[in-house]
Structure 1
């Protein structure tokens, strides 16, 4: 602990879980190194007592948590010269890219919203302070009113995803999809949850081909034959919703047996896990089904990323693992809302980061796919709050009987 010379604001609450005391001048030294200047505790003893839970805040800030949170963005260390004709450039020319996808800059300016739209606490500062203070073992049980609020925000999120997905086609940029998503959120009096979350610069995540997750929308043009994950999260009425799907870009993608096997197996893994959701099911049970089905199709599960709780906060507990043999504690109870969102690959389930500190790709350049739903545990089972509609884009495609493994 560090004893700072400046006094914290009057009656600042100690970050110790359930600690009734006001904070003193003691701050966590690791938080200070990470640029987090609001981590005050009442005493050394309280800090030590809460260390095992508080240190997850550091991992969140560094993007190492296994609950789907984002990493903090850093400016590029080197850039190529902008193309004379169009001004576009690769901001990381010395980076070893594992696949064919490259960042295409400049990024468009961060999009704005009307002042009337309700915002989460990170909208101005980029720091999810309330989320950082959460106990990682206390899982919220929603009452009837809160459940209705979740139904509404999830319905709106499904609309936003479907509107954005309807625009997926060869020849458009992922930045254009970000604009479509952003505008659809504004039209629904909703805030796009990723926007400025730990300084993420865009309103959704676009992850093509070998990008595992958290791709930043930019000026890259989608090609016929690509696959693309759209990860949509919105904030409305004080509650968040989160869902994503992977889509085929053009006819070449829809005719690629490897892409079909990858995408449809991932979709099926999510559906099979959802069937297990009911009171009494262990959080670790979902991963057993997901990994078994993935392996049966020659796929591997990315264990780094998992599902997470979601309600008035974006990433509260619990964390939901997608792999077998997990020792994560916890059991489903009526009133819980959380996501399940497996990521599969036909290559090695390991990731490397681009220098933007957000975009992570497979180590071998093999493609990945992901699907996600937000769900409510009911007294008798589960209600999938972000379920597909009959006219939702991106319907399943039958998996070819003969396939030889991914070739991309």
Structure 2
């Protein structure tokens, strides 16, 4: 069921989104060669604790066959596109790190992600991040009343395909509210003018994730979570929680 939010509810979600933005900023500041992924997860836990918020990621298990997620952030390195588990892996100079974070505050959820190089950046990685970021901006710009979900999807894919990226629609954006995942599904490729109509008060996570190799396929590790590009190419993932309003798209996952 698709729910529309009141202005007061959007303000509450904005508070949760600010916690997410703080988490991402803190993890980015702490990420460096030699730092373990578990240490970054601890940094994010500290931000949640200081804000009096909890994690919608921790213990999340969408399927009975999926083990509960053990961290408060997803930390995806290089060819890992989504859902990377915070392990004892140490970051290396030149790694590409995607951080996906969520926070629940006063019953409302925020969800966002960033991708950035660790240490010395590779030009190809910077190009991939730039393409993915521009796709996110294009998707957000399409999130206006009168459009449809397909308009967001088509805008994202137009940027990604022009950049030579692989795009998969199995995982994508989604509604956000009292829970982390709600209707509607917002795929990263689709046909303009199709899908659920966008109305003021709809809140969605828009999250392009692209594969640098140009192929759309992925594989999932034995842990049931870690999603990698099938060809071993690097991946990028960026995301904001966005409200559709009569005044235009409103990003809810930025710092206050």
Instruction: Give the Å deviation of 1:144.
Output: 2.5
Give TM-score scaled by structure 2 length: 0.93
Counting only pairs closer than 5 Å after superposition, residues 35-184 of structure 1 correspond to structure 2 as 138-184=1-47
Could you tell me which residue of structure 1 aligns to residue 104 of structure 2? 235
Could you tell me which residue of structure 2 aligns to residue 264 of structure 1? 130
* SS of residue paired to 2:75: strand
Q: Among 251, 272, 275, which residue is 2:141 paired with?
A: 275
Q: Among 51, 58, 64, which residue is 1:195 paired with?
A: 58
Instruction: Give the Å deviation of 1:201.
Output: 1.1
CA distance in 1, matches of 2:158, 2:5: 32
**Corresponding residue pairs, total:** 249
Task: Give the structure with the higher percent strand.
Answer: 2
For structure 1, the residue ranges without an aligned partner over 5 or more in a row are 1-137, 390-408
Q: From the CA coordinates, give the structure whose radius of gyration is larger.
A: 1
CA distance in 1, matches of 2:229, 2:54: 30
Structure showing greater relative contact order (alpha-carbon pairs closer than 8 Å, 6 or more residues apart): 2
Instruction: Give the Å deviation of 1:328.
Output: 6.1
For structure 2, the residue ranges without an aligned partner over 5 or more in a row are 62-67
CA distance in 2, matches of 1:355, 1:294: 29
* SS of residue paired to 1:166: helix
Could you tell me which residue of structure 1 aligns to residue 163 of structure 2? 297
Give TM-score scaled by structure 1 length: 0.59
Query: CA 1:338–1:206 in structure 2 vs 1: closer, same or farther (change >3 Å)?
Result: same
Query: CA 1:215–1:149 in structure 2 vs 1: closer, same or farther (change >3 Å)?
Result: same
Could you tell me which residue of structure 1 aligns to residue 116 of structure 2? 247
Instruction: Give the Å deviation of 1:145.
Output: 2.2
* SS of residue paired to 1:197: coil
CA contact under 8 A between 2:148 and 2:192: conserved in structure 1? no
User: What CA RMSD, in Å, does the superposition of the two structures yield over aligned residues?
Assistant: 1.5
CA distance in 1, matches of 2:73, 2:164: 30
Could you tell me which residue of structure 2 aligns to residue 354 of structure 1? 221
Instruction: Give the Å deviation of 1:361.
Output: 0.5
